[in-house]
Chain A
């Protein structure tokens, strides 16, 4: 009796519900467990690896959504960053300590620009970031001339020479702890920690919550609304650039077409966690749970080789179900 009531109170919180969703997905993994693949450590390592890029995007998305906005540009910014990183690291042979900051700066600047358009020029976030989504995709294609930036480098005469995968990419697409943890997963967790620190422990995080909850009240309480919003979008662009770096390293190339539609997955991760799209409520911990839920769901569908059509339908249903339970918890 007592345990059931403590269960109930645990489920009354958004975190409890997000845990429940993750637990249900994991339980499904134990049941639909083709060739016992779900009980192998490699499966979990791979799940975390493939969730990482989306999860890093979701970190930035959480900041933006908490402050009452939305960032549709992260998928395109990821592609732009991937192309830039590949160009610098493969074609120009820049060392990591030059290529990484330069790539991050590109993402951060694009994010800040979108933030400035929405915060200062008062364009709706949806429109401002939609424009940035198109613009960044165009820049990505322009930067690489429409071709993937790979280790096959074209000579002036049209022939190709083949260069090595740069050490930066090798280091990012590497495994540590006896091959049981991908470096990109470590990067993902570092991003989660940074976003958590910003949101839960920094003054600007409080500002973002306040703006998302009631922008006018925040402004009249002296919150630098424009600055905090630009900050949120710039951070989102920065995380998108980190994700782009990871994507380029894992593909060993910069593909201008990569990452399309990733923004929707990132939004889904944020929402399944229980962060409200209306702004003002949520948190980074919730997004981590949401990211793992979607990542594991994806992996389980993949292990069981569920056809594409079925995957889409199931994913759609599960997102709606998770969001409905979250909402019920609030009223």
Chain B
């Protein structure tokens, strides 16, 4: 995979941030950071979580206005004081958290705040026509009068891009745009990004996925601990070197494969179906049969909508009794009807969205880490704060959690550290079976490696793990066996030796190859 040749060094920068320093109270999050984007290039902004990427972007987007340093756009000094000013200057930011208003129509969302009006009344037909134009540019086929919330996350992401295009933005910032997209959608997005380059836009792209960097990067800027480390063309910056820049140390190319620790059968599903929206609707997972042994990691592969997440939630009892089939935990029938039952039987579920369903962000790290296992820590219902702190230290300690104090709010931590707290919560219950749904989503490479090590350690202790991940290398590295799901059904199962990216992707796209 070769990167598009970088534009010549003589092209004047379209946007240049220099000497950016930003403090939040006593904490300096950016120190003399810089970033320079040229017209017609894809510029990757890389760095670990907490490196200051998001803050830098927020300064460019006019969200943080109180900073030192300067921003030049086309050689002119600018200082956007609000997102509206930034978009008037031609800077569009597609945030990680989507900013569409669910109940409003796609067209209304695209033209929010600048709708065509006559005497104060929105000219609906004109607006819809314009919206259709921009949506078609993305090769999207959708009804712009429908509420945005009706569409899947991937489509909503593309609607955001349509919105940016309609603003005639020249600098387009994308903050991990592919985190919710499946492979064909990613291809569409990349085609689009190439088209944007052709028009002379500068795309500033934040990602953790090495594969994406290889595919679209022209140049890369790396930040570490709020400071600029370096900028180089993609050709000059092989992955190993980039990782070294990001983490400040050489981590080696790839994580070694786990040693297998096979044990007795822990979980067995027989013709297990999950009905998240009631028995009358289509099941999200249908007649799934699989088994996981103690000390084993069963990887669940699949694209968006495969039903793997729903399968885990169904096993965990999160949909109440809306499941059918058999679920055996160490040969005992265990069709749980509430998460509480599952937890009492030693099953933990790490959800795929730590902010929405994983953590109580307003609570302390200790409170979160002990939430699932509070019962044994509070005899007769009375809490023992000292015991809780001790328990939280015991579970978070081996994870190298970076927090000033365990009494800090979980919301104040970076993504990787939040994920560690969410994992600590499940270790607290001494699980027999761990269901991990995207355990490394949105966290930096160093933290990922730490989580891989933890998985290794847990399986060595005999915990059975059912793992979902959308990252192929992770799936291949961590899994002892791989089951692939497509539209609610298991379409293939591979042993560790058989598994390879091509056959997994084939099965995930629906080709049935199960023996």
Q: Known: A219-B339, A224-B340. Contact between A210 and B378, CB under 8 A?
A: no
Contacts of A224 in B (CB 8 A): 340
- Pick from B339, B342, B372, B381: contact of A204, CB below 8 A: B381
CB closest chain-A residue, reference B359: A217
- Pick from A203, A210, A222: contact of B360, CB below 8 A: A210
Q: Is the CB of A209 within 8 A of B351?
A: no
Q: How far is the CB of A121 from chain B (nearest CB, A)?
A: 15
- Pick from B344, B357, B361: contact of A220, CB below 8 A: B357
Interface size on B, residues (CB 8 A): 28
Q: Is the CB of B360 within 8 A of A201?
A: no
Q: Known: A202-B381, A222-B339, A280-B360. Contact between A209 and B372, CB under 8 A?
A: no
Q: Is the CB of B344 within 8 A of A222?
A: yes
Tally of contacts, chain A with chain B, CB under 8 A: 77
Contacts of A209 in B (CB 8 A): 360, 362-363, 367
A280 vs B357: C-alpha distance when bound (angstroms): 15
Q: Is the CB of A210 within 8 A of B381?
A: no
Q: Is the CB of A281 within 8 A of B362?
A: yes
Contacts of A98 in B (CB 8 A): none
Q: Is the CB of A222 within 8 A of B361?
A: no
Q: Is the CB of A203 within 8 A of B378?
A: yes
Q: Mark A18-56, 1 if CB is under 8 A from B, else 0.
A: 000000000000000000000000000000000000000
Q: Is the CB of A222 within 8 A of B357?
A: no
Task: Among B357, B367, B378, B382, find the residue whose CB has the most chain A CB atoms closer than 10 A.
Answer: B357
- Pick from A206, A217, A219: contact of B383, CB below 8 A: A206
Q: Mark B374-392, 1 if CB is under 8 A from A, else 0.
A: 1100100111000000000
- Pick from A216, A220, A280: contact of B316, CB below 8 A: A220
B349 an interface residue at 8 Å Cβ cutoff? yes
Q: Mark A195-209, 1 if CB is under 8 A from B, else 0.
A: 000000111111101
Q: Is the CB of A214 within 8 A of B378?
A: no
Q: Is the CB of A222 within 8 A of B363?
A: no
A288 vs B245: C-alpha distance when bound (angstroms): 53
A80 vs B356: C-alpha distance when bound (angstroms): 40
A221 an interface residue at 8 Å Cβ cutoff? yes
Q: Is the CB of A280 within 8 A of B372?
A: no
A212 vs B381: C-alpha distance when bound (angstroms): 19
Name the interface size band of chain A. Answer: 20 to 34
Q: Which residues in window 201-241 of A have CB below 8 A to B? A: 201-207, 209-210, 212-214, 216-224
Q: Is the CB of A210 within 8 A of B383?
A: no
CB closest chain-A residue, reference B343: A222
- Pick from B343, B344, B361, B372: contact of A214, CB below 8 A: B361
Q: How far is the CB of B288 from chain A (nearest CB, A)?
A: 20
A78 vs B382: C-alpha distance when bound (angstroms): 29
Q: How far is the CB of A6 from chain B (nearest CB, A)?
A: 14
CB closest chain-B residue, reference A200: B383
- Pick from B349, B360, B375, B381: contact of A218, CB below 8 A: B360
A207 vs B378: C-alpha distance when bound (angstroms): 12
Q: Mark B475-500, 1 if CB is under 8 A from A, else 0.
A: 00000000000000000000000000
A121 vs B367: C-alpha distance when bound (angstroms): 28
Q: Which residues in window 330-347 of B have CB below 8 A to A? A: 338-340, 342-344
A160 vs B249: C-alpha distance when bound (angstroms): 93
B371 an interface residue at 8 Å Cβ cutoff? yes
A214 vs B383: C-alpha distance when bound (angstroms): 21
Q: Is the CB of A222 within 8 A of B340?
A: yes
A218 vs B372: C-alpha distance when bound (angstroms): 8
A280 vs B364: C-alpha distance when bound (angstroms): 11
Contacts of B340 in A (CB 8 A): 222-224
A218 vs B425: C-alpha distance when bound (angstroms): 12
B318 an interface residue at 8 Å Cβ cutoff? yes
Chain B residues within CB distance 8 Å of chain A? 316, 318, 338-340, 342-344, 349, 351, 356-363, 367, 371-372, 374-375, 378, 381-383, 425
What are 22 A-B pairs with beta-carbon distances under 8 A? A201-B383, A203-B378, A205-B383, A206-B371, A209-B360, A209-B363, A210-B367, A213-B360, A213-B362, A214-B356, A214-B357, A214-B362, A217-B359, A218-B371, A219-B318, A220-B339, A220-B358, A221-B339, A221-B343, A222-B371, A223-B371, A224-B340
- Other A-B contacts than A203-B383, A220-B318, A221-B339, 12 sampled, CB-CB below 8 A, are A202-B381, A203-B375, A203-B381, A210-B367, A210-B371, A214-B356, A214-B360, A214-B362, A217-B356, A218-B371, A222-B371, A223-B340
